Structure 1
């Protein structure tokens, strides 16, 4: 069964649900929205999971926040609304940081964690990441939104990304920036990156062509989490699930079946 549940439901987040079996929650990068999982969606459903994907506030079909909020609490509320007591979680970049917060605050609800270039909570920013953030902020302040979009596409996609993938990321990032610039209050709070309490087995994935901050974070997560391993993809940039969708889907299914 496949359905779309609008944001007028008991959750604040637009989301899709499909399939039967153990729950699997997909959390997107802030460069994208829930459409980033389109290439894996059917594969994961066919692998026997009840797959849920959502848009964080201000992304995709979810409106910008109209009050103070935390993304992890939005995710918890979504799980409650869907009657899901426990789930495996796949998180990309910022979505990986949210996945870590959910697993730390409600460890009994997370059965496994797959973290694709999770946001770097554990290391000081390198010059490369600091320069990107400074340049992106300058472009936004100058109302050069199209240039900011192109900066994100160039930074976050690796050499395997084809023209269609770049166009997809360009579309998602432009929408997120437009929503963000139209919103007057309640900017996104950072995820709580305390790792204490996490019990789930974890796979920390990095891409060799990604910025060093994310590569270092994956190594640190594998060292600090009690049941984790690190795998680096030699071909990947920051968004491997979009760069080689089938290969990443196989990696995720293999890990999740191993955990099960």
Structure 2
């Protein structure tokens, strides 16, 4: 199944870069993490190439080949997602969201459930997430804290920040640096070099949903998953997300960190298949 590269125009004229593997009627839209872009899903799409799915991945504003918004408050990521669905003629789709992409998937499921056939969460954030209403606090462990400080230090050399980001998000902070190598690491570094260059604010495109206190209202099927090598402080929040959704068992993925699609694409492809069966 050949990949089609195209540009879709957002409501304000911004071009959104899209990759589509059009091989069937069941639509799957991949929503990338905040430390990735649409290319992070390429190997997952390859794993699914013979399954008869319509696979779509696109770059949110400020990532990959989609420019950042001049005014961060002039758009919402949910509206951009709807523009992509409409342009491609997709009435409903399974949304596969990793990290910040998961937060977008949940926002869309709450605002536009008629356009969402289901959601697959992978190490997902949630809009409005806080520890103020939980019995646990977000506390960094000794392995994560120095890596996060290095990654966020705007005065450090870019290569040092990239190395810290790769250890933090790709390897997992409690795993050895360089655990994930080869093409996956090269792609991670290339994607994040671009992200650091653009430096779009994390708050850009917020739809104001505050899904954290509304997860019980999500009416579409949701499969919640995460890697056991992800940031330790985030693991209780993934568990709490699943509890608030109240939709059954979760999948903890052994031996992977925050970006399973990069290091174990076959595992993520199987999750997509399972999520489609649960629709």
Normalising by the smaller structure, the TM-score range is 0.7 to 0.9
Distance 1:60 1:147 in 2: 21
The root-mean-square deviation of aligned C-alpha atoms, in Å, is 2.5
SS of the counterpart of 1:40? Answer: helix
CA contact 2:6–2:17 (8 Å) conserved in 1: yes
What does 1:99-248 correspond to in 2, within 5 Å?
99-119=105-125, 121-123=129-131, 124-128=137-141, 132-137=147-152, 139-140=153-154, 142=155, 144-158=157-171, 161-180=180-199, 188-189=204-205, 192-194=209-211, 195=215, 197-248=217-268
Aligned match for 2:61, one of 41, 57, 63: 57
Indicate the residue corresponding to 2:17 in structure 1.
Answer: 14
Residue correspondence of structure 1 range 25-44 to structure 2 within 5 A? 25-44=29-48
Give the alignment's TM-score, normalised by structure 1. Answer: 0.87
Which deviates more from structure 2 when the two are superposed, residues 70-79 or residues 121-130?
121-130
Aligned 8 A contact 2:150 2:156 in 1? no
**Does the CA contact (< 8 Å) of 1:25 and 1:88 recur in 2?**
yes
| 2:27 aligned residue | 23
**Structure 1: which 5+ residue stretches go unaligned?**
none
The separation in 2 between residues aligned to 1:244 and 1:2, in whole angstroms, is 20
Partners of 1:26 and 1:54 within 8 A in 2: yes
Q: Which residue of 1 aligns with 2:134?
A: none
Task: Flag the 1:212–1:169 CA change in 2: closer, same or farther, 3 A.
Answer: same
Q: 2:82 aligns to what? A: 76
Tell me what 1:3 maps to. 4
Q: State the TM-score, normalizing by the size of structure 2.
A: 0.82
**Uncovered stretches (5+) of structure 2, i.e. residues with no partner:** 132-136
1:247 to 1:200, Cα distance in 2 relative to 1, 3 A: same
Compare the two structures and name the one with the higher helix fraction: 1
Instruction: Decide whether the 8 Å contact of 1:202 with 1:229 is kept in 2.
Output: no
**Alignment deviations for residues 29-79 of structure 1 (CA, whole Å, 9 cap, x no partner):** 111100001111122242121111000111111011122222222112211
Whole-angstrom distance in 2 between the partners of 1:215 and 1:163? 27
Q: Any idea what the Cα deviations from partners look like across 1:200-246, whole Å, max 9, x if unmatched?
A: 11111111111123322221122111434311112111111111111
